[in-house]
Amino acid sequence: MKVTVLPVLAVSVLLAALVTVTAVSTATVDGFAPGGGATLGVTTGVAWALAVAAFLLLLLVRGRAALILVLAGSAALGVAALAGPPNLSTDSARYAWDGIVQNHGVSPYAHVPASDALEQYRVPWLFPAPADGADGGERCAGSRTEQTTSIPSGGTLCTALNRPHVPTIYPPVAEGFFAAVRAVVPDDAEYLPLQIAGLLLSSATTVLLVLGMRRRGLDVRWAAVWGWSPFVAAEAVTNSHVDALGVFLIVAATFAAAPVSGSARNGLSRGRAVLAGVGIGLAMATKFVPVIAAPPLARRRPVGVGASAVLTFALTYVPYVAITGWSVLGYLPGYLSEEGYDSGSRFALLSGVLPGAAATVVAAALILAVLIASWWFADPAQPWVAQVVSVGAVLLIASPAYPWYALVLVPFIALSRRWEWLVVPLALSVRTLVPGGAGATLVILAAAVFAGGATVVRWRRRPTRPPATTLEPASLTKETP
């Protein structure tokens, strides 16, 4: 017991510092204001350094103390991330709007937010009134407010929503989530309800990881990679991205497919295959990104897992198709075009060496090859090893402009202990805070070289037999002498 006292104390101090930095930064730094991104970059760097130091010291702690630190640290960091409004993304404003109109009986796919047909539902915090400008015209004030026009009246419209002239992009499970969160609060409740929902989801994922890892004889201390992550706190809680729901569902699907310690290594019952497929389908219907983690889960029963996933995904669309028709596709095609995926300009590792659409074709071929390989080579007993490599590789190839897409990668880093893939969310965050130019491309390239090189080294050094787990499932619930 005496051996662990100092590490426990040191970890607690570092976690307290991490929580303080997160709370102060979230409460005081506006990433939308001039220079705000650079300031957030500095505070985020400090938070990452504290989290890494705390985790390294956590590896010196065993027994129940380690488990308590993981869970308490995750909860405390999540609460700290509630200290201010979203600071780098306006997505949660759109989430709130979609939830509000649904709770008034309007399909979110039926009208664009700028439509005059929805004028009666516009709340001041999402649609502030324009002010009189010096030139006598109307203008919109505020760092997170944009000026546009209503449709079809053409009047000045101030809004906190992004893309107010296009239909929603979000799939049905996400829309149901938005409606559920907003149903229990008044329309004038601002960002906090969705942030609290993000806190609950991120904390639930930490608990799910701990429980699933214990049952499979994995070292639960690695759950802190998710629970103590400044990246998760910022994107799942402060900016409250719905990706956190998709992450929870795909992790649940992973545990449904992976055997527990002591079970038959090659066995996957039909019932568990269906459960895994349902989890995949719901995750896809929350946001399409989690599907890249799905192929390794279908290694044993591809038909059962795949069929239940497709059926679940399709069924989630039925109520919205019945109400709105095929407009439920929303803005997805336009989004892909806007982000440069059809022109090939989005792919940081390819667009500089391949002309135009050729980058898109090569990227699509590479992504398909990665997904097929992740299914073919996956170990059904530990699918997270294939998942972390495939999800990380796809993110590097696609190089999205939005770092929160990498939330789905973090749990599989924890499960596989492939810490080198943390460079992916870090690189995408740097790219967002310092956007554009060759520097952003070099950051993605450096991340690809580091993570890819480390993966090759691990592969070359792999043991001829599957390694024994580091800790027995119960070893972190008892004090060790």
Query: Which residues lie below 8 Å from residue 415, measured CB to CB, with a gap of 6+?
Result: 209, 212, 213, 218, 222, 254, 382, 384, 387, 388
- State residue 470's pLDDT score: 41
Token pair for residue 61? Answer: 């702690």
- For residues 253 and 35, which has the higher predicted lDDT (pLDDT)? 253
pLDDT at residue 460, as a whole number: 85
**Model pLDDT for residues 186-241, shown as the tens digit of each residue:** 999 999 999 999 999 999 999 999 999 999 999 999 999 999 999 999 999 999 99
For residue range 350-378, list pLDDT tens digits in order.
887 888 789 889 999 999 999 999 999 99
CA gap 49, 72 in Å, rounded = 19
| Helix 172-183 × helix 302-324 angle, to 10° | 60
Average pLDDT over residues 415-436: 87
pLDDT, average across residues 237-251:
98
What's the pLDDT score for residue 330? 67
Structure tokens at 440: 């952003």
pLDDT attached to residue 266? 54
Whether the model pTM is above 0.75: yes
Task: Taking residues 253-264, report their average pLDDT.
Answer: 84
**Do the beta carbons of residue 278 and residue 312 sit within 8 Å?**
yes
Identity of the highest mean pLDDT range in 38-47, 71-80, 253-262: 71-80
Query: Which whole number is the average pLDDT over 43-62?
Result: 96
Q: In this structure, what DSSP letter does residue 467 have?
A: P
Percent of the chain exceeding pLDDT 90 equals 70
In 3D, which of 93, 88, 91 has the Cα closest to residue 29?
Answer: 88
| pLDDT value of residue 473 | 39
Which position has the higher pLDDT, 180 or 329?
180
Q: Residue 464: its pLDDT value, please?
A: 55
Q: What is the DSSP letter of 151?
A: B
Query: How far apart, in whole angstroms, are the C-alpha atoms of residue 379 and residue 297?
Result: 9
Binning pLDDT at 50, 70 and 90, where does residue 425 land? very high
**Given this model, what pLDDT does residue 143 score?**
77
Per-residue pLDDT, 471? 40
Listed range (57-66, 150-159, 337-346) with the worst mean pLDDT: 337-346
The confidence score (pLDDT) of residue 448 equals 93
pLDDT at residue 472 is higher than 90: no
Average pLDDT, the chain: 89
CA 143 from centre of chain: 25
Q: What's the longest Cα–Cα distance across the chain?
A: 77
Q: What is the predicted pLDDT for the residue at 479?
A: 40
* pLDDT, position 346: 80
Q: What average pLDDT does range 326-341 have in this prediction? A: 72
* Listed range (277-281, 322-326, 399-403) with the worst mean pLDDT: 322-326
The residue among 263 and 450 whose pLDDT is bigger is: 450
SS3 state at 165: coil
Residues shown for the chain: 481
pLDDT reading at 167 higher than 80 = yes
Mean pLDDT of 405-423: 97
Asked if residues 241 and 425 have their Cβ atoms less than 8 Å apart, the reply is no
| Burial class of residue 381 (count of CB atoms within 10 Å of its CB; 0-12, 13-18, 19+) | middle
Give per-residue pLDDT as tens, 3-30. 468 999 999 999 999 999 999 999 999 8
Phi/psi at 385 (5° precision): -65, -45
pLDDT at 336 over 50: yes
